[in-house]
Amino acid sequence: MDTNSVGLVKEQQFTFASAEDPMKLESGHTLGPIDIVYETYGEPNEDKSNAILILHALSGDAHVAGYHHPNDKRTGWWDVMVGPGKGFDTSKYWVICSNIIGGCKGTTGPGSINPQTGKHYCQDFPIITVGDMVEAQKKLMDHLGISKLYSLAGGSMGGFQVIEWILRFPEMTRSAICIASCARLSAQSLAFNAVGRKAITMDPGWNDGCYYGTPGPIQGLAIARMIGHITYLSDLSLDSRFGRKLQSADRFSYDFTTEFAIESYLQYQGQRFTERFDANSYLYLTKAMDYFDIARSYGSLDKAFAAVKAKCLFMSYNSDWLFTSEQSREIVQALKRNKKDVSFIEINSPYGHDAFLTEYEQPKRIIVPFLDSVGKKKI
């Protein structure tokens, strides 16, 4: 076990809203009661002013670091960055991560039981937005007695939530770290999401979303993940790792079986994803990403960031073609025009969008001094 790991951790649950007093969503629909699963690492100081909220990406969850069981083979999804002496140093900070609404790792989502019917929500679950995710997280922060967050951090869709947080609750956020993200999806990203959803809904096992208790749309979800996974990697990383290598032969088979190593790899990633994720959640969360558009919501980027109080750090990767450095710069320039405290760093990496999950040495060297500087800034 990693000596710098947070060690064994337990999921916790918070419930808010009710059928009589539900949460109102941006769509106009309501939802309640709502369960939120979360984990914490490190200890709060006396006034809980050392709290850092980590916000996960599309396929993430509340388990950001450590182990649930002594014999776990895998740690939390960002264990390389969260723990004693790591980027988010749990000997200094009280780190919190919650599963988003609409997800499938304990927080209320389409696979949860609808208390009004006693059955799974399925497609009766209302459409949710990134703003709804953040409003639910705010309820959790209130429950934990946190009046001001030391920092927020998240990559990809987690970065969407970071941005939404500093816009919705400017007085509550001292600093923010947004990694490999953007203010809205490009048309190309919308297209990839649309194809992924179509793969799921065209699978005969989808059954209009009412597939619980059956195998479900396994093939459709696997294909959606294969499509998505391609966008997370760079051409350079794929070519250096797989190239045109054949999987298990030295000549072509002249049929349609899996031959190339990259084919086998994508099939493995797709199959593994179906073992841990819910197809309905994939539909709802990608739709929430599609709807995220700061300029549309606030009138313009300049108007959106006018009220921001947080000291901000934006990080991008030069090989990320899903959420490009130019998209991060667009936000940074809007913050600068508003004379906000913002820094931007583009990291050289061959690993594409997924670099923020796999690389830690460069991000740590950037994040540690940034967080230190927040403590020196007058509130």
Question: Is the CB of residue 232 less than 8 Å from the CB of residue 356?
Answer: no
CATH 1.10.1740.110 for domain 190-285, yes or no, is: yes
Which residue type, as a one-letter code, is found at position 219?
Answer: Q
Question: Is the CB of residue 93 less than 8 Å from the CB of residue 87?
Answer: no
Residues of the chain with CATH 3.40.50.1820: 12-186+293-376
- Chain CA centroid to CA 50, Å: 22
Strand, helix or coil for residue 40:
strand
CA 279 – CA 221 distance, rounded (Å):
6
Q: Is 116 exposed, middle or buried (0-12, 13-18, 19+ CB in 10 A)?
A: exposed
Q: What is the mean pLDDT of the chain?
A: 96
Residues 188, 190, 191, 197, CA torsion sign: positive
Q: Residue 236: is its pLDDT beyond 60?
A: yes
Q: Give residue 367's pLDDT.
A: 98
pLDDT in tens, 61-117: 999 999 999 999 899 999 999 999 999 999 999 999 999 999 999 999 999 999 999
Query: Longest C-alpha distance within the chain, in Å?
Result: 68
CA 123 – CA 284 distance, rounded (Å):
9
Q: What is the CATH code of the structural domain delimited by 12-186+293-376?
A: 3.40.50.1820
Q: Residue 1: is its pLDDT beyond 70?
A: no
What are 213's two structure tokens? 């208790």
- Active site residue ranges: 156, 320, 353
Q: Give residue 379's pLDDT.
A: 61
pLDDT in tens, 241-265: 999 999 887 888 888 888 999 999 9
CA nearest to 305, candidates 329, 331, 272, 325: 331
Question: Is the CB of residue 331 less than 8 Å from the CB of residue 301?
Answer: yes
Q: What is the DSSP letter of 100?
A: P
Residues of the chain with CATH 1.10.1740.110: 190-285
Phi/psi at 60 (5° precision): -80, -170
What are 36's two structure tokens? 């939120």
CB atoms within 10 A of CB 13: 13
Which residue type, as a one-letter code, is found at position 289?
Answer: M
Question: Is the CB of residue 312 less than 8 Å from the CB of residue 340?
Answer: yes
The pTM assigned to this predicted structure is 0.96
pLDDT in tens, 120-169: 999 999 999 999 999 999 999 999 999 999 999 999 999 999 999 999 99
CB atoms within 10 A of CB 109: 24
Q: Percentage of the chain surpassing pLDDT 70?
A: 99
